[in-house]
């Protein structure tokens, strides 16, 4: 029983370590972030990181290259849905 408890504590600390070492990488096409392209942000990221994309139109294909990361707009931290162009989404996903 004690061995199972120690293993559970180890797993908990491992997840905390990974979470605490995650990074937020800012992508701003206007140059105000860490990178100006989403792919450059992904390339610089590590598993557990968040790529936060600022407003703008990014013409690029992205490849997550097998990384376990979060790609999000400012809507993720502000809750403001105006950061997402829903009209564009509706036009491009309509079938």
Task: Please report whether residue 18 resides in a domain.
Answer: no
Average pLDDT over every residue of 41-66: 95
Q: How many CB atoms lie within 10 A of CB 60?
A: 10
What per-residue confidence (pLDDT) applies to 54?
A: 95
Asked if the structure places residue 9 within a domain, the reply is no
Domain that holds residue 39: 23-93
pTM: 0.71
The answer on pLDDT for 70 being more than 70 is yes
| Number of domains observed in the structure of the chain | 1
Residue 72, domain member (yes or no): yes
The pLDDT mean for the chain works out to 86
Residue 12 lies in a domain: no
Look at residue 74 and tell me if it is in a domain. Answer: yes
Q: From CA 70, how far away is CA 90, in angstroms rounded?
A: 23
């Amino acid at each position: 029983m004690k061995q199972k408890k120690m293993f559970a504590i180890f797993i908990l600390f491992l997840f905390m370590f990974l979470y605490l070492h995650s990074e937020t990488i800012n992508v701003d096409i206007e140059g105000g972030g860490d990178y100006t392209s989403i792919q450059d942000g992904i390339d610089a990221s590590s598993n557990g990181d968040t790529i936060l994309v600022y407003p703008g139109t990014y013409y690029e294909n992205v490849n997550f290259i097998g990384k376990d990361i979060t790609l999000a707009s400012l809507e993720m931290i502000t809750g403001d849905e105006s950061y997402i162009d829903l009209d564009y989404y509706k036009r491009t996903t309509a079938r």
